[in-house]
Amino acid sequence: MKVLLEDSWMLPCFTKKIIGMDCPGCGIQRSISFLLQGRVAESFLMYPALIPIIFLLGFLIFDMFVSVKHSEQIKLWGTILTVGTIITSYIIKLTLT
């Protein structure tokens, strides 16, 4: 498949440069690039937490303009899901590499 976007805009991971190991955010830029290209499965495999992050941010923005019943619980569980996904995928990445 032809790459639609250049990856020249991506910033290097300073944690990886200094310490030599991935940080919990490593992969998010490439995951965004894949998602913008419509390569959802590759985006998810690159950084599984991107989808929960997008839904959480979308809900937070929506909640600013529209009153949502039980919004505090939705925000809490959305945050738990997002942080849990970040931590779980980071631990799996560390054990597999």
pLDDT (tens digit, 0 to 9) for every residue of the chain, 97 residues total? 455 555 667 778 888 888 888 889 888 999 999 999 999 999 999 999 999 999 999 999 999 999 999 999 999 999 999 999 999 999 998 898 7
The residue written with tokens 């690039």 in the block is 33
Question: In sequence order, which ranges of 2-70 are alpha helices (DSSP H)?
Answer: 14-18, 28-36, 40-46, 50-65
- CA dist 61 → 13, 66, 82 (Å): 28, 9, 16
Q: Is 15 helix (H, G, I), strand (E, B) or coil?
A: helix
User: What residue segments make up the domains of the chain, in order of their start?
Assistant: 14-96
